[in-house]
């Protein structure tokens, strides 16, 4: 195992952005940027032992600055959407940055994703990132200290440990927004990936992509991934929640959630044989199929195009602060938000 540090680029104001590379004895490696805490590359072997980068994204800092749709970035304070950019807490109403269509707060206004995080290697297999968000940032209450640790194991698992604490009551929901393509970053559409999710319910959304508050049974809908099926099988369905998003951009409710680390699902890519198993201790996972990627130039000059990557964003449900029946994301002053997500990689024969 080893960790190395290189200069990735320099921000317009002159601040350097570093890249830390963690490599295990199998040759698998993860590259993490201090800008956005970005998981920039992740090399994993196929069934023949050939390594490929299984993340779509950008080769340069300029790409992240000009074109990013949160590729590989940490997102917070509140991952996903808050309706109308507003919520109430302790009888007070807070108005937060409406950065999606000028009405919805998406990913906490992008704060964590565009910050430069302080980095500290932990031994030779883990990297800790730290960022302090001031009270009132993007309208959220409390000064928050966030810590995220990336660990690459000898068993080809990438573990992400999240921790955050506020000096005031607040809402917290952190995740990573990696776009995976298990065939490799240049392999084209992900519609042929085989997906299984341990989720009997999902949260349908309205025209703004905000949950209605219903927990709907997946049975008989395109959202039924309880048995493995191709992501593309129902992606062009006229089912309302799919059609309004031009594919999947929805929260799935993980079965039997109890706060312990459990499997959210598994993805298999038949051509390469790569398998990714996702585990989390959070109640939900957002499946996003890159429906609105615009084809900007990405790694190797390959367009970051529609449906060339998928996300499995482990999370509290979207708009939870405005949905009293959803699992609470309120954390009291001094009460830590702590969560773990693990992506375990393996291979399968034909």
Q: For residues 322 and 82, is the Cβ–Cβ distance under 8 A? A: yes
Question: In the annotation, is 313 catalytic?
Answer: yes
Beta bridge partners of 312: 287
Q: Which of 64, 107, 138, 177 is catalytic?
A: 177
Q: Which of 111, 189, 269, 313 is catalytic?
A: 313
Buried b (16+ CB within 10 A) or exposed e, 282-319: bbbbbbbbbeebeeeebbeebebbbbbbbbbbbbbbbb
Question: In the annotation, is 114 catalytic?
Answer: no
Rounded to whole angstroms, the Cα distance separating 58 from 294 reads: 14
Rounded to whole angstroms, the Cα distance separating 243 from 252 reads: 17
Catalytic residues: 177, 313
């Amino acid at each position: 195992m080893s960790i190395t540090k290189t200069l990735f680029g320099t921000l317009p104001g002159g601040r350097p952005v570093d890249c830390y590379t963690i490599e295990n004895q199998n040759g698998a490696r993860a590259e993490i940027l201090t800008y956005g805490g970005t998981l920039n590359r992740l090399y994993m072997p196929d069934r023949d032992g050939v390594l490929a980068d299984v993340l779509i994204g950008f080769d340069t800092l300029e790409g992240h600055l000009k074109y990013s749709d949160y590729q590989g970035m940490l997102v917070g304070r509140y991952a996903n959407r808050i309706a109308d950019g507003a919520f109430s807490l302790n009888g007070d109403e807070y108005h937060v940055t409406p950065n999606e269509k000028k009405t919805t707060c998406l990913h906490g206004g992008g704060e964590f994703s565009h910050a430069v995080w302080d980095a500290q290697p932990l031994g030779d297999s883990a990297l800790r990132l730290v960022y302090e968000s001031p009270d009132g940032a993007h309208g959220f209450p409390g000064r928050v200290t966030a810590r995220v640790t990336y660990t690459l194991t000898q068993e080809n698992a990438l573990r992400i440990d999240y921790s955050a604490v506020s000096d005031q009551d607040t809402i917290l929901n952190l995740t990573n927004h990696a776009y995976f393509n298990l065939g490799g970053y240049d392999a084209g559409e992900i519609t042929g990936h085989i997906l299984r999710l341990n989720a009997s319910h999902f949260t349908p959304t309205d025209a703004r992509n905000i949950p209605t508050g219903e927990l709907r049974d997946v049975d008989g809908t395109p959202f039924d991934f309880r048995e493995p099926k191709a992501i593309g099988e129902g992606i062009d369905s006229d089912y309302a929640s799919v059609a309004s998003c031009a594919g999947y951009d929805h929260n799935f409710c993980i079965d039997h959630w109890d706060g312990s680390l459990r499997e959210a699902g598994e993805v298999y890519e038949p051509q390469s044989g790569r398998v990714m198993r996702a585990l989390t201790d959070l109640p939900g996972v957002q499946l996003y199929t890159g429906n609105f990627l615009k084809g900007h130039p990405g790694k190797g000059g390959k367009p970051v195009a529609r449906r060339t990557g998928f996300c499995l964003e482990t999370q509290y449900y979207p708009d939870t602060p405005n949905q009293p029946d959803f699992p609470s994301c309120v954390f009291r002053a001094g009460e830590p938000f702590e969560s773990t997500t693990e992506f375990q990689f393996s291979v399968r024969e034909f």
